[in-house]
Amino acid sequence: MFADVVQFLQEAPFEDSLSLSHMENQETIRDIRRALERGLRRTTNLGMVMNLGIPAVLFVLAVVFLSPGVSKAALEPPSFNLIFIILIAVSAADIGVGLFLKRRLLSPQNIFKQASSATEITAEVRFIQAAIVIYVINLSPTIYGFVLIFLGGKIENFLLFVAFTLIGFQLARPRSGDVEKLSQYYSRNSQSQGAARGKSIDPLKDFH
C-alpha cells in the first residue's frame, strides 16, 4: 500500500504539473510571437511614413523654396562645400549607426531583458521603440539635405541625402526575419527554463 502511494505521488501529480506548465509555456510563446508580428506591422507602416512620406513632403517644400521669385540666402561656395562634405560623411555614418542600433536594440537581450517582465506587451513595446529609433536615424540625412537647401543647395543635393535615407531604410528596417529570430530565441529559452524547473521538482518533498 505504501509503495502504491509513493508511485502515485511520483507519477501522476508530477506529470500533470509538467503538462500544464508546458501548455502555459506554449501559449506564452504564441502570445510573444503574435505581439512581435503586431509590432512589425505597426512599425512597417510607421517606417514608410517616416522614411518615405516625410522625404516626399520635404521634396515638395524644397521645390517650392527653389522656385523663382522666392528670396534665398546662400553661403559662399567654400563654406557651403565644406558643410556639404561634412554632412555627406555624417549621413554615411548614420547608415552604420542604424545598422548597429538594429543589431543592438532588436537583440533578444534587449527585447526580452528582465525575463520576469518579458510579456507580450513589453516585447511589443520594446520592438516598436527600437524600430522608431532606427527610423529616426534613417531620416536624419534627409533633414540634412533639406537644411542645405536654405544654405544655397540645389535640388540635386537634397536628393542625394534622400538616397542615404532610402539606403538606410532598406538596410536597417525591421523585417519578418527579425521577428522569426526573436521568436525562436524566446521559444528555446522558455523551453530550457521549463525543463530546468521540471528537473528541480520533487513530488515527494512534502511527503518526506
Q: Is residue 207 part of a domain?
A: no
Q: How far is CA 49 from CA 42, 45, 61, 144, 154, in A?
A: 11, 6, 16, 18, 24
Let me know: does 172 contact 184? Beta carbons within 8 Å.
no
Q: Is residue 208 part of a domain?
A: no
Q: Could you say which DSSP state residue 205 is in?
A: T
- What is the per-residue DSSP string for 147-197? HHHTTT--HHHHHHHHHHHHHHHHHHS--HHHHHHHHHHHHHHHHHHHHHH
pLDDT in tens, 123-137: 899 999 999 999 999
Model's pTM, two decimal places?
0.78
Output the pLDDT for position 70: 63
Per-residue pLDDT tens over the stretch 146-200: 999 999 899 999 999 999 999 999 999 999 999 999 988 888 887 665 544 444 4
Q: Is the distance from CB of 135 to CB of 102 less than 8 angstroms?
A: no
206 part of a folded domain: no
Confirm whether 126 is domain-assigned: yes
pLDDT in tens, 61-91: 999 988 886 656 678 889 999 999 999 999 9
Grid cell digits, residue 173:
528596417
- What type of residue sits at position 58? L
The count of domains in the chain is 1
